[in-house]
Amino acid sequence: MGNGTRTQRSMGLLKSSRLTEAAHRWRRFTMVLLASLALALALSGCGGEPFEISGAWKSVGDQSWGVVAPGTVVRFGDTVNLFSPWDTWLYEEDGADGGELTVTGALGGTYSFDVHVIDNDHIELTRGSYALELERSE
């Protein structure tokens, strides 16, 4: 009977060590997976500087809207000067490629534009067939 008890105990230790080894393998796999994901995010540019529409933008296209003609500087600050110097605005980002700009004119008309971010210094505002090309200005 003594030998049977030892065999059961040694099999119990064997099962325990296999379980521990499997847990370590799983932990290593998880750590490698998380490290790989973190590296992929870092390389893809996630976590970089977000796009900021605030500031001065020069109209570089050939279309005119409201008070904006080619060469006009459009300033996104407390107000924006698309239809008048006192327009209010709201920019809602949809993703890295742009978002929606809502402008309320001084006389109360509200207009929505699609914002296409070409890069941090070039955007295009579109509404229907109209496109206003803007380049960041200082």
Taking the C-alpha atoms of residue 24 and residue 109, their distance in angstroms, rounded to an integer, is 64
Length of the chain: 138
- Specify the DSSP class assigned to residue 50: P
- Whether the full predicted model's pTM is greater than 0.75, yes or no, is no
What's the rounded Cα separation, in Å, for the pair 24 and 37? Answer: 20
Query: Coil, helix or strand for 10?
Result: helix
pLDDT digits (tens, 9 = 90+) for 90-125: 999 987 789 999 999 988 899 999 999 999 899 999
pLDDT band at 41, cuts 50/70/90? low
Nearest 5°: the CA angle 61, 65, 71 is 40
